[in-house]
Amino acid sequence: MRVLSLFDGISCGMAALERAGIPVERYVAYEINEPSIKISKKNYPNIEHKGDVTNADFSEYIGFDLLIGGSPCQDLSGLNTVYRQKDKTGLQGEKSRLFYAYVDALNTVAPKYFLFENVASMKAEWRDEITRELGVEPVMINSALVSAQERKRLYWTNIPNVTQPSDKGIVLDDIILSAEKVPEKYWYRDKKYTLNGEDDRVIATLDGENIFSENKRVFNPKYKCGTLCGDGAGGNLQKKVYQNGAVRKLTPLEYERLQTLPDNYTEGAADSHRYTAVGNGWTVDVIAHIMGGLRDE
């Protein structure tokens, strides 16, 4: 199969195809983030990296079998307004308008199959516009079915037989490291917090006025984590867990597990780059589940 991947990130699409058992003859990726490209090259040195999608000549890929991509969602996500008081500009936003590069590729390449992913929290008018442009209704899948992370995403695709994955019942306790294996730098030894209730999903809340409410949440390991974001690179932005009577942030390895990536997939990059790249990526098991529809084609 010949694959064109736009906004490729760390090549979660390739990892999903591999996991689904789909042979890939050629995989061409458009991505401009250098740390993400390095992670991709470490795992898949045969991927062809082409750089900036706005400079692409999609006619080079006429006849490719599969087009995949999830254009940046920062202008569409409800989190932007709720936690940053930032105006959402929708599909005309600086980042999300890259969706139209995907439409251009779809119209030019005319692949047999396509898959486009984006956030489920977007306004109905933006969802409807994407549906009009792509010509198919989206399927909403929550990554919580296959991982320890709540992550509702919309998938527009013409891959046949897309169903909901079976619920694996995974919680944070199933994927986090034992406390003694977590390096000291990930623990919040000096930060104050308030315990809520031992049976609450958000078991504790960090104190402090200069922390967005989403980032104050400390998750109970008996439950699932909140949605990973691509801005979780520094400060108090990483997801947090309560373990052995103390609060800590999740490690990059645990982020990988929340996205069902192979362990140490992003190893070798700085922690900040790992958090961002994984948060911007796809849940591999969800994509592999969708790609499973290609096996009988």
Beta bridge partners of 243: 246
Residues 66 and 80 in one domain: yes
pLDDT for 52 equals 96
Average pLDDT over residues 4-30: 98
Region of poorest pLDDT, from 83-97, 184-198, 270-284:
83-97
Tell me if 270 is assigned to some domain.
no
Residue 217 near residue 249 (C-beta atoms within 8 A) = no
* Residue 5: C-alpha distances to residues 27, 51, 138, 142 (Å): 7, 11, 19, 22
Residues 145 and 196 in one domain: no
Residues 99 and 220 in one domain: no
Residues 194 and 153 in one domain: no
Residues 109 and 8 in one domain: yes
CATH number of the domain within which 244 lies: 3.90.120.10
Residues 23 and 134 in one domain: yes
Average pLDDT over residues 43-68: 98
The domain total for the chain is: 2
Mean pLDDT of the chain: 92
Clarify whether 73 is annotated catalytic: yes
Tell me if 60 is assigned to some domain.
yes
pLDDT for 80 equals 47
CATH number of the domain within which 27 lies: 3.40.50.150
Average pLDDT over residues 221-241: 86
Residues 177 and 153 in one domain: no
Residues 153 and 197 in one domain: no
Average pLDDT over residues 176-195: 96
pLDDT for 28 equals 99
Do the bridges between strand 193-195 and strand 202-206 make them parallel or antiparallel, or are there none, so unpaired?
antiparallel
Tell me if 233 is assigned to some domain.
yes
Residues 84 and 228 in one domain: no
Residues 125 and 17 in one domain: yes
The domain of 153 spans 2-168+282-294
